[in-house]
Copies of this chain bind each other. A is one copy, B any other.
Amino acid sequence: MPQPQALSALGTFLGQRLSTSKSDLDLHGRSESYFALTPPDAVAYPESTEEVQQILRICHEHGVPVTGWGTGTSLEGHALAVAGGVVVDFRLMDRVLEIRAADMDVAVQPGVTREALNQQLRATGLFFSVDPGANASLGGMAATGASGTTSVRYGTMRDNVLAMQVVLADGRVIRTGGRARKSSAGYDLTGLMVGSEGTLGLITELTLRLHGVPEAVSAGVCAFAGIEDAVNAVLDTIQMGIPVARIEFVDAATAAAFNAYAGTSLPECPHLMLEFHGSPDSVKQDSERFGEIAAEHHGRGFQWSTREEDRRALWAMRHNAYYAILASRPGARALVTDICVPISRLAQAVTETQADLSRASIPGPILGHVGDGNFHSVLLVDPARPEDLAEAKALSHRMVERALDLGGTATGEHGVGLGKLDYMQREHGDGWDVMTTLKQALDPKGILNPGKLVRSPGLSRQ
């Protein structure tokens, strides 16, 4: 076990920026979700690509596992060092390197959070669109293949990362992609790295696509008598090609959680929350067209507004949904499901999920990015009751099986991490072997985030 030698070599050049204090290890052994505390052996805080390269060279030489860490907001335990080793925390690599307004792109270090980036873009008339709710780091969002509320209009991280600098397992540094809007020059390594969850390399720089801040924005909320009405309104909206910028579903339990958490007074029934981007004329027209669709599906009280304060209040509520739901069962931890299905199957998936949840003994409010066919149930478990977690896992399992039966995916945006590993074989079949082959080719020693995403015969999980 050469770990001490490796840690000593790392300490030599990182100094105080290699931590083995218990509090730091514990902090990097926790997740937002239900997973057990899994402290690493050390936490490194590099300040440059060269330092990341040096960390990987040393860990590669000594066979020490390396796991990247952004803001720790993963819901599937991606950043937990289940095989021990070194966690590389990118918080000190948090500079916006270059804003190229004419090309509508930006180069950033991986530790920049999406809110910090948008703050720095404020004067440019441009914004970075991907919005998973949490103020995650952009490196973590790329590694996870994150998306969120705006992806129905602007795409996911896959669509918005143009280029990367990546340090490979053996310390080689590569640049993937480029600044041209398109290229057919070889394999899409950028696309391969997005969503690879730190198993193929550590991202040390990203070039991101930006979008123009729309001239006008309208937002609104609409109540529905039942889930099916709300989902059918979504289907019609998408199929009619109304260019919604956000179209979010929350169920009655989530509306109740908002009311309790934020003092709002939503009727306790399903709702859609919407946003439209465009010109003053187009957002008016889009909002009105949606209003007509909502009315056909018995929507009630749809009001829309172009006032920024109304809009901010609406999305602050939505962004706090996870915390509002958590607060609805004090002391609870959450297991958050993340299935995504073809949009024609959305009503069936939500209705069957709702029926299953109604028979459960734990709460599981539903909300989601329904314009993409993606929704979550936040299953609330009492950490003191192991039977809660067992029930949550059984519910989650049935949701994933249902999604796969309907031609969907186990995870629309949260990633595989620890929580979805058991579904990779069913979802991908021999494709999972191909992923494992690619991983072995690029990381033959298996030091990069071992235990995640691909088959790991050396670990007990699998």
Contacts and interface: CB of A to CB of B under 8 A. Distances in A.
A429 B185 CA distance: 12
A28 interface: no
Interface string A438-456: 1011100000000001100
A23 interface: no
Contacts of A407: 178-180
Nearest to A184: B145
A313 interface: no
A426 to B, nearest CB: 10
Contacts of A212: 239-241
Nearest to A176: B431
Most chain B beta-carbon contacts within 10 A, residue among A182, A189, A420: A182
Most chain B beta-carbon contacts within 10 A, residue among A105, A184, A414, A416: A184
Contacts of A413: 182, 184
Given A175-B431, A192-B188, A151 B182 contact: yes
A192 B187 contact: yes
A437 B441 contact: yes
Interface stretch (A14-22, A64-72, A84-92, A336-344): A336-344
Interface string A68-81: 00000000000000
A196 interface: yes
Given A174-B434, A342-B179, A144 B412 contact: no
Given A104-B239, A174-B431, A431-B189, A182 B437 contact: no
Interface in A82-118: 100, 102-105
A156 interface: yes
A134 to B, nearest CB: 15
Nearest to A417: B184
A282 interface: yes
Contacts of A428: 174-176, 185-186, 189
A148 to B, nearest CB: 10
Contact of A408 (B178, B194, B453): B178
B430 A172 contact: yes
A196 B156 CA distance: 22
B179 A408 contact: yes
Given A102-B239, A191-B158, A442-B437, A340 B186 contact: no
B103 A185 contact: no
A412 B344 contact: no
B195 A188 contact: yes
Contacts of A131: none
A188 B182 contact: no
Interface string A128-159: 00000000000000001111000100001011
Given A158-B182, A178-B407, A184-B338, 20 more contacts: A100-B344, A147-B182, A158-B188, A174-B431, A175-B429, A178-B409, A178-B427, A180-B342, A181-B342, A183-B340, A184-B413, A185-B423, A186-B432, A186-B435, A186-B453, A188-B188, A188-B194, A189-B431, A279-B285, A441-B441
10 contacts: A145-B183, A174-B430, A182-B412, A184-B338, A184-B414, A185-B415, A186-B427, A189-B428, A189-B431, A438-B442
